Structure 1
Amino acid sequence: MEELNSRAGQHRISLVNREACAINGVSDVLSFDVGEVLLETEQGMLMIRGSELHVSRLTLEKGEVDIDGRIDSLTYSEQTASAGSKAESLLSRLFR
């Protein structure tokens, strides 16, 4: 199992009782607040929704994020190709 975890570009989510989430393969944190965390991962954009969300650990050098709180949903969307379209996608989500 150690060999699997050490591969570059691997994306993994571990969710415990909908209260604690450990995520690998994160390249950027685009936004976060108590109701939503938006991450850029190896597998696309990941939106985590819930209540009282807290980013308890962030290590972008290793691509790791830990989130605590009540997690209600994890939603992926396709990763965009350029930074301009990423910003547009983020803005369109904020104003829905």
Structure 2
Amino acid sequence: MIDHGKTKRQEVKMLNRKLLEISGVLNVESFDSEEFLLETECGFLTITGQNLHIKNLNLEQGLVAIEGMVNTMAYLDSSTQQKTSKGFLGKLFK
């Protein structure tokens, strides 16, 4: 069944693994030079890489641009989120 109300829309554009532009971003949950966690209209999106930093951020329009070497992008489901949070806490309290 198709929902004719507000549809979720997200665009991800990457140029040479060095510039990533994402629309449909609701919030930047956390970030550092190696990992970003974004809440998007399509779920939580994790981006890992090297020397990552925010080039542009406009949450009113839902746009984020990230520069650096992108290694992975993955959407997290609820079971993955639990594993990720346990892994993060495990690293924190090691």
TM range, smaller chain: 0.7 to 0.9
How far apart in 2 are the matches of 1:13 and 1:21?
7
For the pair shown, which has the larger CA radius of gyration, 1 or 2? Answer: 2
In structure 2, runs of 5+ residues without a counterpart are: 1-5
Per the normalisation by structure 2, the TM-score is: 0.78
Give the CA deviation at 1:94: 1.6
How many residue pairs end up in the alignment?
A: 84
The question of 1:37 aligning with 2:31 is answered no
In structure 1, runs of 5+ residues without a counterpart are: 1-6, 80-85
Task: Classify 1:42/1:34 alpha carbon distance in 2 versus 1 (closer, same or farther; 3 Å).
Answer: same
Could you give the per-residue CA deviations for residues 18-74 of structure 1, whole angstroms, max 9, x where no partner exists? 000000000000000000000001111000000000011110000000000000000
Partner secondary structure for residue 95 of structure 1 = helix
Task: Classify 1:49/1:16 alpha carbon distance in 2 versus 1 (closer, same or farther; 3 Å).
Answer: same
Aligned match of 1:12: 11
